[in-house]
Amino acid sequence: MPPERLFEIQIGFYATEEDAAQLTEGWTRLLDGRAVPYQLSVARQENSAATPLAEYYEDLPRQWRFGHPEADPGSRRIHQVRVGLLASRPQMDVLRDELTRVICPDPEHNSPCAVPWESGYTDSEESADTTDDLNQRYGHLL
């Protein structure tokens, strides 16, 4: 089996607080069912459009407006779930795919997602700075 190391999976999404809570419950249930040490946290865009989170995921509100051209976005905001985990690279790849299926169960659908999202990950083997950062946040999982 490949060696385990720290990863952080990030999923940015444009949703209401209620949607964010439901998604977080789904992600937590999924992760609780796996034998992988993890820590899940959710960050939310504050009202200021100048927050780094809003800049990083600036395309998500546009995606929502594309699918809902005449609708008011209401209380939708940019959120980001971060999942720190201790896993092998193949385990992380499977978990990342499973986590994105919580927000988009059918990746082959023709229309935009009801909740626009993007995902990425950080690997502790990327650089010394990344290793230090992930160890600082998730070292307790080792």
Secondary structure in 3-state letters for the chain: CCCCEEEEEEEEEEECHHHHHHHHHHHHHHHHCCCCCEEEEEEECCCCCCCHHHHHCCHHHHHHHHHCCCCCCCCCEEEEEEEEEEECHHHHHHHHHHHHHHHCCCCCCCCCCCCCEEEEEEECCCCHHHHHHHHHHHHHHC
User: Is the pTM here over 0.75, yes or no?
Assistant: yes
Q: pLDDT-derived band of residue 107, with 50, 70 and 90 as boundaries?
A: confident
| 5-141 CATH, one of 1.20.120, 3.30.70, 3.40.50, 3.40.1000 | 3.30.70
Return the pLDDT at 51.
Answer: 56
Q: Specify the range with the lowest mean pLDDT, choosing from 16-30, 48-62, 69-83.
A: 48-62
Mean pLDDT value across residues 34-62: 82
Say what percent of the chain tops pLDDT 90. Answer: 76
Q: pLDDT-derived band of residue 118, with 50, 70 and 90 as boundaries?
A: very high
Domain range list for the chain: 5-141
